[in-house]
Amino acid sequence: MSIELDQADREGAIQSIVRFFEANMDEPVGNLQAGALLEFFLREIAPCVYNRAVRDVQARLQQRVMDLDAEVYEEEFAYWKTARRR
């Protein structure tokens, strides 16, 4: 599965890379180089981030399902258990 950015996000990411290089590196990069670097990150590193996010969501959903089980559980055949207390 390839990770794609829409045009506005892609342009914003490229500008962010350009600014990062201007502020932190000895040589600035142009839009073409920043776009190539972004493409590399999207192909090479973004799947790691995506997969981690999926695992985090799965864990969160599993916890919510477990909480739901406890919240909506009704004891079966409870009449005699409560009748003895009367």
The number of residues in the chain equals 86
Predicted pLDDT of residue 86? 58
Q: What pLDDT, in 10s, does the model give residues 3-32?
A: 999 999 999 999 999 999 999 999 999 999
- Torsions phi, psi for 6 (to 5 deg): -70, 170
Contacts of 42 (CB under 8 A, 6+ apart): 2, 3, 4, 5
Q: Check residue 8 and give its pLDDT.
A: 98
Q: What amino acid is encoded at 22 in this protein? A: E
Is residue 79 over pLDDT 90? Answer: no
Q: What is the pLDDT of residues 34-77, one digit of tens each?
A: 999 999 999 999 999 999 999 999 999 999 998 988 888 888 98
